Amino acid sequence: MRFGKVFIAGGGPGDPGLLTLRAAQVLAQADVLLYDALVSDDVVALARANCEKIFVGKRCGSHAMEQRDIVAFMIRYALDGKCVVRLKGGDPFVFGRGGEEAQALHDAGVPFEVVPGISSSLAVPAYAGIPLTHRGVSASFTVVTGHEDPQKGHAQIDWQRLAHAGGTLVILMGLTHLRAIAERLMAHGLSGDTPAAAIENGTLAEQVVVEGALRDIADRVESEDLRGPAVIVIGEVVRLRDRIASVESAACFSQSR
């Protein structure tokens, strides 16, 4: 039997210019492309014309394909001798379930390679003019998922510890639970005056940035009707945006609010 190979690749934060050279190379040779909702159309378009493109994304509880079926597709196509690219938004190992898929491929004896990508947790704040670390302001940053409802029982995220961690807090997939997250952080002692920003469609021409403070960022996001995908940044570094957001105007990004 002639085995193919699976590439578990990061598609970056959206702007195709931020796709890695290695990811572009494997896209150009893919027989089958399994891509997620957060992968931009411009990145998908880099696959060759005769590549079989299959959307397997998930959005707001709506799944184009269950995770077990995605894994089954990767294994089946690879066993058929195909070059398969499993393309994820950002980096495949940052809240992308890439590790689970790599384990499944290993267990099935299917050759695979991981192609790292630029995480939206890094690129999106940078494009919005927000440095995650800055001398004298923040010496560390923490990235967490906001997809976990902070009001549910048995939460894996320790919001009390995060409220006292210092540095910058970056929340991915947190728009739906933003109000509850802010309330939980303030309840554990993080000042409501802490600067905060929500960045929708980061790195794309449609990028929108909503700024505020922890106590009112949820109200501001609702007022501007942000729908996501969005990256939320909480910390003093948000105050630096006024002097650093030159990329936004240069790229003709839409607006800051």
Catalytic residues, by residue number, are 36, 58, 173
Token pair listed for 60: 């707001």
Q: Which parts of the chain fold into alpha helices (H)?
A: 21-28, 41-44, 67-79, 98-108, 120-127, 159-163, 178-187, 217-223, 241-244, 246-250
Pairing outcome for strands 112-115 and 52-55: unpaired
Closest CA to 10 of 31, 32, 35, 28: 35
Helix (H) or strand (E) holding 21: helix 21-28
CA angle 190, 218, 209 (to 5 degrees): 100
Separation of alpha carbons 51 and 29, rounded Å: 8
Q: Phi and psi for 6 in degrees, rounded to 5?
A: -110, 130
